Each structure stands twice: as C-alpha cells, then as structure tokens.
Amino acid sequence: MRAIFMGTPDFAVPSFKAMVEAGHEVAAVVTQPDRPRGRGGKEAPPPVKEAARSLKIPVFQPSRIKDPDFITLLQGLSPDVIVVVAFGRILPAEILSIPRCGCINVHASLLPKYRGAAPIHWAVINGEKETGITTMYMDEGMDTGDMILREKVPIGDSDTVSMVHDRLALLGAQLLVKTLGLIESGQVPRLPQTGSPTYAPMLKAGDEMILWDRPAPEICNQIRGMNSWPGARTTFSGRVLKIWSAAALEDDGTTSRPGQVLSSGSAGIVVKTGDGRLSITELQLQGAKRLSTADFLRGTPVAAGTILGEVIPL
C-alpha cells in the first residue's frame, strides 16, 4: 500500500523500517521539528528523520499539525493509509479523513489501559506484570479507537523501562506489518475497546522525586520505570542524586525515619523507607558519572545516619 509514516523517537524506527522492508511504499515521513539535545543544547534531528534520510524518503516537520498548507500537502500524496507510531501529537479530523484505509496507530500498551504519552514508563512504575502492543484505528480521541491486534509481553521484576521499551518496539514493528497485511487483504478485525481506561500522562519533574515514606517495592518500581530516562532522584548534601538501580529489603525493625541511611558499604547503601528498606546499587551525583555503589563510595563517603531527600529546587 501507499503510506505516510508519522513518528518521532527511537521507538518508532523499527516500525518504520519494517513496513518499508515489507514492500509498502512510504511516500513521505512526518516527524516533529529538530530539538535541542545533550549538554550543548545543539539541535538534533529525531531518530525517525535520520532513518528516513538513510532511505531517501521525503521528510516533513510541520510546526503546526493543523496548518492548512500541510494538510493540503498530505492530501496531494494520496495515501492508502497513514501509520502513526509515537508521533507525539493528536491528529485532527482533517488528517484522519485523508487515507482511504484510515489512520493506524501502534500503541505501547494493552488498551484501554495506559492511554496517553508514557505508557511504558507508567506500566513499570506501577509494578505491572505484563504490558503489550495494540494496533488500532485512530479517531479524534486520545488512544480511543477500535483495536485491530493486541499482543502481551511480560514485565520481569528486574526489568527497566529501557528493556521493556526495546521489546515493545520490536513487537510493534511485527504487529504493524501483520496489521497492514490484514488491511490489504480486506480481512482486518475491528474491535471496540472495552473496560475502564487508565491513563499514562507525560512525566513531570515531580514524578522523578523519590518519596522515602513510600514502601520499598514501590520505590524500586519507580527507579526501574525511570531507568534510563529520566532517572529517579533524591538529594544528598544539597545536590541531586539520581538512583539507577536498587533492591527492596524487608524491614529489620530499625526505628529510623524514612530516607535515613542505615548502612553504607560496597554491597549497597541501605536506606529506611516507609515500609522496608532500599539497597541502592547504582547511582549518580549531580555533575558526575553514573557509578556502582562501590565505586561511588570510594570518592564520596555516605555515613550511616545521613538523611536523603531534603528539599531543594527541581
């Protein structure tokens, strides 16, 4: 089929490449404008743009998705289908009505759970044991359209959001190719979403902060759900301290306040929580490298009794 692909981050690249390899004609790629990236703040192209350039496919980066000239451009391309994967914007009715076979979305959750911008992060943060991919017809709502295919993947107790992201990106590519094949053959299912929806809003700065009065397993899930971006954080000696890896331990009966360091050694920095203890095994002090606890302690001692999490501006 003749298609337009709309996507932006790394997650969308396997889907884009898979539909090209499956023989579909991608007439154009639409992605978000270049954004500043890294410490230098230099503008960099989105990953999907780089992938499209490597295949010599035209790329469009509209600043306004509802711009009349842009919509006229899409209409002129006469696509059979528009495929949307992590594009980052809700499409207006004027675009949804362009392709004769509809607009298809690859969403990284088992809809109607985790509609929204950050479904993988929130599934891990909330301690879910499984998630998956849903392909769906798009409508004017946020991830509310009829489903086509769904497939589950487990989330292991030690899985980080990056691990789950990479698995889902590959699964999304596979399901997209299957979905396009069903559409092409005229045998595509159309299943309304049922059950109560849940939502996965874009992460805010406050979501990164560790609240030490929460149970240790919940804090562990938060840390896993923000590794490798944006990182769960606390504070230490007036500086931001990101925690990249930790393990939940049962309470040992110590009467200490949440956030207090109980012990500190190469095996981990053990911190009191609202229920249980947390053993920190990988961390990063503001302005420094990401290190194992053993390496961190060689240059930065953390004494028992230290309180983590004093309030500083985000």
Q: How many CA atoms lie within 13 A of 78 on its CB side?
A: 0
C-beta of residue 28 within 8 angstroms of C-beta of residue 58: yes
pLDDT at 311: 57
pLDDT at 45: 96
Determine the Cα–Cα distance for residues 107 and 97; give it in Å rounded to an integer.
20
Question: Considering the domain 205-299, what is its CATH architecture?
Answer: Roll (3.10)
Determine the Cα–Cα distance for residues 159 and 155; give it in Å rounded to an integer.
6
pLDDT at 38: 74
At residue 287, φ and ψ (nearest 5 deg) are 85, 0
Identical fold for domains 2-185 and 205-299, yes or no, is no
What are the CA-CA distances from residue 144 to residues 112, 135, 139 (Å)?
7, 11, 7
Residue 40 DSSP class: T
pLDDT at 272: 97
pLDDT at 253: 85
SS3 content of the chain, % helix, strand, coil (to 5): 25, 30, 45
> What is the SS3 assignment for 305?
coil
Query: Tell me: the pLDDT tens digits for 59-107?
Result: 999 999 999 999 999 999 999 999 999 999 999 999 999 999 999 999 9
At residue 165, φ and ψ (nearest 5 deg) are -55, -50
What are the CA-CA distances from residue 74 to residues 68, 164, 240 (Å)?
10, 33, 46
Residue spans of the chain under pLDDT 50: 313-314
Residue 90 DSSP class: P
pLDDT at 312: 52
At residue 203, φ and ψ (nearest 5 deg) are -65, 140
Determine the Cα–Cα distance for residues 34 and 28; give it in Å rounded to an integer.
17
**Radius of gyration, CA atoms only, the chain:** 22
Q: Which two tokens mark 162?
A: 């990056």
Identify which of 64, 54, 32, 26 has the alpha carbon closest to the alpha carbon of residue 45.
Answer: 32
- Domain coordinates of the chain in residue numbers? 2-185, 205-299
Q: Where are the beta strands (DSSP E) in 8-146?
A: 25-30, 35-37, 42-44, 59-60, 81-85, 103-107, 130-137
pLDDT at 314: 47
Question: Considering the domain 2-185, what is its CATH architecture?
Answer: 3-Layer(aba) Sandwich (3.40)
Q: Is the dihedral of CA 134, 140, 141, 145 positive or negative?
A: negative
Query: Tell me: the pLDDT tens digits for 297-308?
Result: 999 999 999 999
Q: What is the pTM of this model?
A: 0.95
Identify which of 186, 200, 214, 206 has the alpha carbon closest to the alpha carbon of residue 275.
Answer: 214
